Structure 1
Amino acid sequence: MELKRIRSLWGVETPLVRALPDFKTNGYQGIEVAVVFTPELKQLATLAREHELEVVAQILTTFPGTPRTPRAHLQAFKDQVKMALPLNPILFNVQGGCDSWSELEQDQFYDDALKFAATLDVPVAFETHRGQPTFTPWTTARILQTFPDLRLTCDLSHWVNVCERLLEDQEDNIRLAAQHCIHIHARVGHEEGPQVTDPSAPEFAAHLAAHEQWWEWMWEAQKERGQTFTTLTPEFGPPPYQHTLPVSQQPVGNLDAVCNWMAERQLLHFQQWKASIENLQ
Structure 2
Amino acid sequence: MRVLQINAVYEKFSTGRNVKEMHEVMLSKGIDSFIACPDLDKLRKNAYRIGNKVDWKLHALLSRVSGKQGYFSYFATKKLLNYIGQINPDIICLHNLHSNYINIPLLLTYIAQNNIATVLVLHDSWFYTGKCVYYIECSCNRWKKHCGDCPALKLGNPSFFFDKTEKMLADKKKLFSYIERLAVIGVSQWVTEDAKKSILKDARIIQCIYNWIDLECFRPRDCSELKHSMGLDDKFIVFGIAMSWNSQKGINLFHELADLLPDNCKIVLAGDDSSIQIKHSNVPAQ
Give the structure-1-normalised TM-score. Answer: 0.39
TM-score (norm. length: structure 2): 0.38
RCO comparison, higher one (Cα < 8 Å, 6+): 1
Question: Which structure has the greater CA radius of gyration?
Answer: 2
Question: Which structure: greater helix fraction?
Answer: 1
